[in-house]
Structure 1
Amino acid sequence: MDRIPSVILGLCSYTHDSAAALLVDGELIGFVEEERLSQRKHTKDYPRLAVEWLLGEAGLTAGDVEAVAYNFQPARYLLESPAALRLALSAITRDRALARARGFAKVALRTQQRVRTLGQLFPSARVVSVPHHRAHQLAAFAASGWNEAAVLVVDSLGERQTTTIAHGHDTLRPRTRIVEAVHDPASLGYVYGAVTEHLGWRRGDEEGTVMALAALGDPKRFRHLFARAVRTTPTGFSVDPAYFPPRTLNSGYPRTSRRFISETCPQRHPDEPLADVHRDLAAALQERTDQVMLHLARRARTLTGSRRLCVGGGVATNCVSIGRIIEAGVFDQVFVPPAPGDAGTAIGAAVAVHCDSGSRRLVAGVARSCYLGPSFQDQDLDLTAWPRLRQKTMGIEPAEFLADQLADGMIVGLFRGRVEAGPRALGNRSILASPLEPGVVERLNATVKYREPFRPFAPMVLAERAEEFFTLGQEAPYMSMASGVTAAAREKVPAIVHANGTSRLQTVTKSQNPFMHAVLTAFARRTGVPVLINTSLNIKGKPICGTPAMALDCLAESGLDALLLEGRWITK
């Protein structure tokens, strides 16, 4: 009988958003995305730095790892190769049939080689390939802390699956059972990525920009096109290959068809000015995404009977669609984990291997945890490499001091505690500003973040006062949900209200982040408003700053006024 592993390393590697998680006796020691340490955004490299930190944190070596949980299962890709040949029966898809069959077979072999490589890196461990959507499901459900919930995963592709509805049970030994699945080429994530690329932004990175742009357009122009291109069905949805040809997993095959281009617009170059047609295309795409996601949520409610929903996968980062599901009242509560994308599957894969092993140890440290990466609190500060930067004394308690500076109109970077999991800064690697400051959004976009002027900024708010400004009706601890706003928000803090009348808020409790709760409380005493603008500590094109050096670079290279780095006040 195989020995039950007590040290399990979960990995997302070799595709994009590389990350690692470590379970020891069922307890999550930590999780971090490689980009936060390597400074390479969306890196697909083996997460060497992340693994080194995790093992060091636990006082272990590579030889102590007993199981490696990988977030893809190679054999599942092979199943698509014979199925792809059916595309030859249609004139619309015939030219992609053979390429698709070859592409999926090639990726299956490549994934198997990656599994072998991991075995060489950890010769004392067994490598377990976990189905991609199962890893997503367990990452979302285990993080919820609920004993039972429907679990909806929507992404671009997980081996063959693009959408799964599962039923999750048991907080301490999480398990999920798939009740329905949608397979490629029906992929909502693929469609959103294809249109993102068509509009001149990077697929797999800048879908959020398209989501923001959508608020400025009119969906009516292309509403009927997307209704034809992405049709809802009794068991999910389908994608019309006349608009979005099936993927081949080979380069050189466009993701949109000539018909799509002729009925919309030519592909936009990144430097080309935005026109109404681009805004309208984004608006119609977002509207259809909202409709399909709500349809899938209702399907999950019907199939599972649950009153709670967990959502994972790349499309779960679409906060507008998540907000629409909450507003519809299909579920009593909706939960999105802090890392719903592929990086978070490192946690889900590790949980899967632990639960399958028969271990009597309960899963701990996953539920409602988001500050899971490295901390640098005891590190000495050397500013030699940044001659323009100076350390100054604060004189009073840091939270009170920071609230003073923000109330005076400063834009401040904040670096403290452990690195957040997921794509959102949650108060440990943040840029903070007062929403009361005139022109603050324009200044942030133009001189600090260096990004498109239409991009909105998210608010963070004291959880106990959220209902004064937002209509969401539930907590949103991970900045993953768009909420309607109240009249008070429109009057007092219009800077945090996007063109579509929503805000992607983060609610902050004292138990979740005591320091940020103290800052918000102090800011409210000075201004009467318990709301701050919170955006990630980085500039466009770079990952969120995971190390002090990255944070100091950000201060030196951007329009930030100052940086509060582990209790030290750094200015230029």
Structure 2
Amino acid sequence: MITIGISFIGDLGHDSSAALAIDGKVVYAIAEERLSRIKQDNSFPIQAIQACLDYKNLKIEDVDEVVFGWPEFKEHHKATFKLHLSGKMKVDLKHLAFGYLRSLTSRSIPSIFAKNNFHPKKITHINHHLAHAYSVMPYLKSQESLIFIVDGRGIKESTTVYLKNGMQLEQLKRINYPNSLGVYYAEMTSMCGFRKYSDEWKVMGLAPFGEKSFDLEHLISSENGNHVVDYKTLMGVEKLHLNGKEIVRPDNDEVAITNSDLKDLAHSAQYHYEQTILKFIQYYTDKYQIKSIGMAGGVGLNCKANGYVMRELQLDEFFIQPAATDDGTAIGAALFPFAKNKNLKPDTFYPYLGNEYSNDAIKEVLDKYHLTYTFLDNVEADAAQELANQKLVGWFQGRDEFGPRALGNRSIISDPRTAEMKDKVNEVVKYRENWRPFAPSLLEEEAENVLKNIKTSPYMILTDYANPEYEDKIPAVIHVDGTMRPQTVNKEMNPRYWNLINEFKKITGVPVVMNTSFNLKGEPNVSHPTDAIRTFFTSGLDVLYLGNYKVSKK
């Protein structure tokens, strides 16, 4: 059986994507942004769908079922209208009515497919949170697990709790929008001067620079397996009165780092989210006596809270879908028919699901642009020496990562041994705020030596602290509060990246490199060799490795 899962809900959503599953296993997945080069692209993922088909030389007629990780558009419009009538949400009724009519005609899914000359055999729509849940379920090793889906909004729901038993799901709890932890964090992001539903990670990065000065328990709390968000105060908020102070949302994102109140607001917002999500999850782990949990939904990318939950609850298993936001629902949607037919089996999540380019294909691109290059038998050893010489390395290998994290196939890599390296990468490559942290990639075998708590974290989605003996060895990847967001690199999962780090260890004695996404500010991560070459020549990168080719700027 062949299925394609799709994440798409038009102007109402973000991060459109597609995934291909064959006989119950996801074999390919890619976000539309990687191909269109439009960050968080929410357009119909025609390029991603075609890429799924091309991967196995398929036609759309070969696909048994196409599944969307959202109900039909009209259901979203109906739910929004009901929220408006209930006073829980204010909307432009003319715009809503126009959108509803379009969802029945030109913007209906069959119409969109037909315009692109695609005629699937069968189209199915499933609940958004269910699609998130299926993106997690097969990758949990335990027979029994709890799965928490936490985001801004599905159609009606904002948080859903499932009990996984084998390959079956039972819904335990549903909390409806706008009582939403995603709304809370989005509005706090806006209050700090950042873009909500886009820059939440900036709040996480800013939080350690502030103090817990503001009591936000009246805005967010959790009791008896429920959470309560004061959405009436928060939605569209321009100013907050907290502890006798008036906090006004700034006009731009450059104010926050110099404003003590905004730094304190970021810290307080993060702290209260951590306390709320911990209490919420702990209610269910205590009630069901289960120490294996899974998580998805955009809020699942809050790596600092994830690490806190992991440590406090002493979990046996904590799998967070690396593509936790809406792009990951394409995976769950693709797997849904197999679960429905009881043909879904446990699996290990492999994040390298996108495009791969052979050395021949790479050489063709290099020759097209008349670039200077060298073919190397051992690129890992050469790159490790360049890193040890303080060079900034573009690293383009294997298949694209699926999800927002660069995990060693589309990465910018540097030496973590000096704090100045972080500033250098910010200034000459990323062109972003110098207070934001970078992440370490380390050999999985060295995790116990480098990290205080984590033994394995292959998807860079938990925070931890460095062991004391490593605090001075890798200052570039340790944030101001002592935390870092590590990726433990498994030799079997990514042998070339593991070899690179191991070669760096042989030279320096340090089994860690600094890793960040291979992109410029405001762009998606690179996907095609041409993207990597353009980024290389328009930034301060010193050397680029594409497959076995080393490219210089000379």
- Determine if contact 1:420/1:429 at 8 Å carries over to the other structure: yes
Q: Give the TM-score of the pair, scaled to structure 2.
A: 0.91
Who is 1:210 aligned against?
A: 203
Deviation at 1:285, TM superposition (A): 0.8
Q: Partners in 1 of 2:195 and 2:253 — Cα distance?
A: 13
Say which of 221, 233, 239 aligns to 2:223.
233
Helix, strand or coil: the match of 2:209?
Answer: coil
Flag structure 1 segments of 5+ consecutive residues without an equivalent. Answer: 1-5, 88-92, 246-254
Q: Partners in 2 of 1:60 and 1:142 — Cα distance?
A: 25
The one-letter code sitting in structure 1 at the alignment partner of 2:247 is C
Q: Partners in 2 of 1:156 and 1:33 — Cα distance?
A: 20
Say which of 381, 406, 426 aligns to 2:364.
381
Who is 2:3 aligned against?
A: 8
Who is 1:401 aligned against?
A: 382
1:391 aligns with 2:378: no
Pick closer, same or farther for the CA change 1:513–1:445 going to 2, 3 Å.
same
Who is 2:109 aligned against?
A: 115
Q: Partners in 2 of 1:153 and 1:547 — Cα distance?
A: 32
Q: Partners in 1 of 2:532 and 2:156 — Cα distance?
A: 39
The one-letter code sitting in structure 2 at the alignment partner of 1:7 is I
- Determine if contact 2:66/2:120 at 8 Å carries over to the other structure: no
**Percent of aligned positions that are identical:** 30
> Alpha-carbon deviations, 1:322-359, whole Å to 9, x = none?
00101102522211122111101001011112222x26
Q: Partners in 1 of 2:211 and 2:526 — Cα distance?
A: 36
Q: Partners in 2 of 1:100 and 1:230 — Cα distance?
A: 27
> Alpha-carbon deviations, 1:266-315, whole Å to 9, x = none?
22122643311111111111111111111122123134432101111101
Who is 1:431 aligned against?
A: 412
> Alpha-carbon deviations, 1:500-521, whole Å to 9, x = none?
1110000011111111111111
Who is 1:33 aligned against?
A: 31
The one-letter code sitting in structure 1 at the alignment partner of 2:177 is D
Deviation at 1:118, TM superposition (A): 5.2
> Alpha-carbon deviations, 1:238-293, whole Å to 9, x = none?
12244214xxxxxxxxx215555995422212264331111111111111111111
Helix, strand or coil: the match of 2:222?
Answer: strand
1:61 aligns with 2:51: no
Pick closer, same or farther for the CA change 1:435–1:124 going to 2, 3 Å.
closer
- Determine if contact 1:265/1:277 at 8 Å carries over to the other structure: yes
Q: Partners in 2 of 1:109 and 1:544 — Cα distance?
A: 36
Helix, strand or coil: the match of 1:459?
Answer: strand
- Determine if contact 2:282/2:313 at 8 Å carries over to the other structure: no
- Determine if contact 2:303/2:462 at 8 Å carries over to the other structure: yes
Deviation at 1:385, TM superposition (A): 6.8
Who is 2:175 aligned against?
A: 182
Return 344-353 or 259-268, whichever deviates more. Answer: 259-268
The one-letter code sitting in structure 2 at the alignment partner of 1:269 is D
Write the mapping of 1:63-212 to structure 2, written as runs, cut at 5 A: 63-74=61-72, 77=76, 78-79=78-79, 81-82=81-82, 84-87=84-87, 96=89, 99=91, 113-117=107-111, 120=114, 122-170=118-166, 174-212=167-205
Who is 1:48 aligned against?
A: 46
1:569 aligns with 2:553: no
Who is 2:509 aligned against?
A: 528
- Determine if contact 1:214/1:286 at 8 Å carries over to the other structure: yes
Who is 1:251 aligned against?
A: none
Q: Partners in 2 of 1:500 and 1:296 — Cα distance?
A: 25
Deviation at 1:440, TM superposition (A): 0.1
Pick closer, same or farther for the CA change 1:474–1:161 going to 2, 3 Å.
farther
> Alpha-carbon deviations, 1:125-154, whole Å to 9, x = none?
221111000111110222334433110111
Flag structure 2 segments of 5+ consecutive residues without an equivalent. Answer: none
- Determine if contact 1:134/1:176 at 8 Å carries over to the other structure: no
- Determine if contact 1:301/1:330 at 8 Å carries over to the other structure: no
Pick closer, same or farther for the CA change 1:259–1:546 going to 2, 3 Å.
same
The one-letter code sitting in structure 2 at the alignment partner of 1:418 is R
Pick closer, same or farther for the CA change 1:213–1:313 going to 2, 3 Å.
same
RMSD: 2.4
1:316 aligns with 2:300: yes
> Alpha-carbon deviations, 1:414-466, whole Å to 9, x = none?
00100001100000000111111451000011111111010111001111111
Write the mapping of 1:396-475 to structure 2, written as runs, cut at 5 A: 397-437=378-418, 439-475=420-456
Helix, strand or coil: the match of 1:306?
Answer: coil
Pick closer, same or farther for the CA change 1:61–1:260 going to 2, 3 Å.
farther
Q: Partners in 2 of 1:178 and 1:106 — Cα distance?
A: 34
Write the mapping of 1:355-366 to structure 2, written as runs, cut at 5 A: 355-356=339-340, 358=341, 361-363=343-345
Who is 2:475 aligned against?
A: 494
Helix, strand or coil: the match of 2:472?
Answer: helix
- Determine if contact 2:365/2:529 at 8 Å carries over to the other structure: no
Say which of 16, 19, 38 aligns to 2:17.
19
Deviation at 1:403, TM superposition (A): 1.0
Pick closer, same or farther for the CA change 1:520–1:227 going to 2, 3 Å.
same
1:306 aligns with 2:306: no
Deviation at 1:59, TM superposition (A): 1.7
- Determine if contact 1:199/1:267 at 8 Å carries over to the other structure: yes
- Determine if contact 2:194/2:253 at 8 Å carries over to the other structure: no
Helix, strand or coil: the match of 1:21?
Answer: strand
Write the mapping of 1:506-525 to structure 2, written as runs, cut at 5 A: 506-525=487-506
Write the mapping of 1:203-282 to structure 2, written as runs, cut at 5 A: 203-220=196-213, 222=214, 224=215, 226-245=216-235, 255-256=236-237, 258-259=239-240, 263-270=245-252, 272-274=254-256, 275-282=259-266
Between the two proteins, the alignment pairs up a number of residues equal to 539
- Determine if contact 1:242/1:259 at 8 Å carries over to the other structure: no
Q: Give the TM-score of the pair, scaled to structure 1.
A: 0.89
Helix, strand or coil: the match of 1:31?
Answer: strand
Write the mapping of 1:545-560 to structure 2, written as runs, cut at 5 A: 545-560=526-541
Say which of 333, 338, 345 aligns to 1:354.
338
Helix, strand or coil: the match of 1:243?
Answer: helix
The one-letter code sitting in structure 2 at the alignment partner of 1:233 is E
Helix, strand or coil: the match of 1:181?
Answer: strand
Pick closer, same or farther for the CA change 1:286–1:367 going to 2, 3 Å.
same
- Determine if contact 1:168/1:176 at 8 Å carries over to the other structure: yes
The one-letter code sitting in structure 1 at the alignment partner of 2:329 is T
> Alpha-carbon deviations, 1:179-206, whole Å to 9, x = none?
0111111111112112212322222221
